[in-house]
Amino acid sequence: MSAPPNQRDRLTALALFAVALALRVPFRSQYAYHWDGAQFALAIQHFDLRLGQPHAPGYYLYVLLGRLVNILVGDPHASLVWISVVAGAALPALGFLLASALYGRAAGVATAVILATSPLCWFHSEIALTTIVDGALVTALMLGGWRAIQRGGRWRDVVAMAVLLAWIAGNRPQTAVGLLPVWVFVFSKFERRAVKLMAGIGLASLFCLAWLAPLAQTAGGWREFSQLLRWKLDFDAPKTLWGGGLPAARASLNVIVRSCWTGLLLAAGIAGVAWRWRVRGTKLAAVMLTWWIVPLIGCGVLSYTTMPGYALSYFPALAIVAGRACTRWFFIAAIAITNTVVFLGNVPAGLTAREILRHDGQLADACAAIRGRYRPEEVLLCHRQEFFVWGLRHFQYHLPEFSNTLLGRDVSLPAERAGKYRICRGAQTEFVDDWMQAAGGRKLLLVVPPGEVVALFDDKVDATHAVPVADGLFELQP
């Protein structure tokens, strides 16, 4: 049985949190990096699943937390970024406590260094998405579960495990499904396990209902909410094994492998050579980590994994496995240096501080060019597709005084709206049958994401009449 954390462990965890926080504060994104991040920021202003603010299943507790932080910050997007910063700083501290409990303090320090400096964790600590919060909450659940096992599973542990699972479900519901096996495994090690498992299921269900009920009300009721979920599942089906077959599963597995490799880098190589798994007294820990990792990766392959951040629900477990093999100080120092160089340097790895700065700069320049050239009432910003890092939602949030439209139909919305075009201004959206008529004689400004060409709009307008006015911005001439 592992000893509970002492004062030294708590102070070390606090120091790790402070260091990780200091690393993250300077690199916060100033503009929404991802389409979902802009949706979440809009949802803080006006929550409506029927408008895709955010999309189903709603991520209700994440948006609610954003609203609470926004009371202090006064900027929805900045509030969500601060949540990511704090969660990203908490993750190394939680990882240290959990890895120390499983394998000793040296493994805890190595794990914390991986989680503090990993480009995967660091990058997602700087942008407004649910994923780094997800990673911190899952690690907290695992830490609480391990401590509960050591105590034999007291009734307070039952309540804590139910609360954490419900919180994770309210932050990112997909993760809660993959966590059920390890959650049940923890209860299987409790005294009077059957009774406590049933009590835990009942409590978790009640806690989930406490946020599900108001969420459903925002959609117009349970029937409408279930329809939104069904339409979202239909929309995502081609990316899943059952909708897209083996090619879709291979694509998800490819993203998972690349994401975990980017997260571990040198730590993966060291662990591959120096891995020591069969250590006395660690069988139970190994089993728990297996129940943590395998079902979540399985869910990621069977459903879909399209972004690196999806891996953060199980990446802390991989960091613990790698950290167990990297306990020598020169290994730990080499990992910290390698990760920091990759994240801060000019490395084409994607998940870097330079990528955040580049995206912020491009979006800031575009917004400034639009504000400098046009009055809100004389122009309609036109977007062609749902580009996730440069699309309608970004300009809808960051240029709330301007009207935006997507020259395409969103089949993830309810049927009566999926066949219409939307005209967005700030957090408000109007659905119309004819977007040209809704333009009302205003100038049309075609917004072209970096790397794309204005011919992207050819099937909707005569783009040969489009005149460039700034990088990525083309005014359509009569």
Reported as a single tens digit per residue, the pLDDT across 430-470 is: 888 888 888 888 999 999 999 999 999 998 998 889 999 99
| One domain, residues 309 and 392 | no
Question: For the chain, how many structural domains are there in total?
Answer: 2
CA distance 268 to 340: 16
Residue 280 has pLDDT above 70, yes or no: no
| One domain, residues 329 and 417 | no
Is there a domain that residue 169 lies in? Answer: yes
| One domain, residues 403 and 267 | no
The string of pLDDT tens digits covering residues 152-171 is 999 999 999 999 999 999 99
Is there a domain that residue 364 lies in? Answer: no
Mean pLDDT, range 162-186, rounded to an integer = 97
Is there a domain that residue 362 lies in? Answer: no
| One domain, residues 273 and 126 | yes
Mean pLDDT, range 76-100, rounded to an integer = 98
| One domain, residues 113 and 244 | yes
Q: What is the pLDDT of residue 247?
A: 96
| One domain, residues 416 and 451 | yes
Is there a domain that residue 326 lies in? Answer: yes
Residue 242 has pLDDT above 50, yes or no: yes
Mean pLDDT, range 125-141, rounded to an integer = 98
The residue from 350, 384, 400 where one domain ends is: 350
Mean pLDDT, range 62-77, rounded to an integer = 98
| One domain, residues 390 and 464 | yes
Residue 46 has pLDDT above 60, yes or no: yes
Q: Residue 469: CB partners within 8 Å, gap ≥ 6?
A: 369, 373, 445, 475
| One domain, residues 319 and 393 | no
Q: CB burial class (10 A; 0-12, 13-18, 19+) of residue 164?
A: buried
| One domain, residues 338 and 399 | no
The residue from 315, 350, 385 where one domain ends is: 350
Is there a domain that residue 369 lies in? Answer: no
Q: Which structural domain range is residue 467 located in?
A: 374-476
Is there a domain that residue 161 lies in? Answer: yes
| One domain, residues 291 and 401 | no
| One domain, residues 325 and 464 | no
pTM assigned to the model = 0.95
Both tokens of 282, joined, read 């660690």
Q: Residue 157: CB partners within 8 Å, gap ≥ 6?
A: 144, 147, 148, 151, 190
Q: Phi/psi at 215 (nearest 5 deg)?
A: -65, -45
Q: What is the pLDDT of residue 276?
A: 53
Across 302-314, b (16+ Cβ under 10 Å) vs e yields ebbbebbbbbbbb
Q: Provide the β-strand partners of residue 380.
A: 403, 444
Q: Which amino acid is at 407?
A: L
Instruction: Return mean pLDDT, the chain.
Output: 93
Is there a domain that residue 363 lies in? Answer: no
Mean pLDDT, range 377-381, rounded to an integer = 95
Q: What is the pLDDT of residue 348?
A: 65
| One domain, residues 95 and 211 | yes
Is there a domain that residue 1 lies in? Answer: no
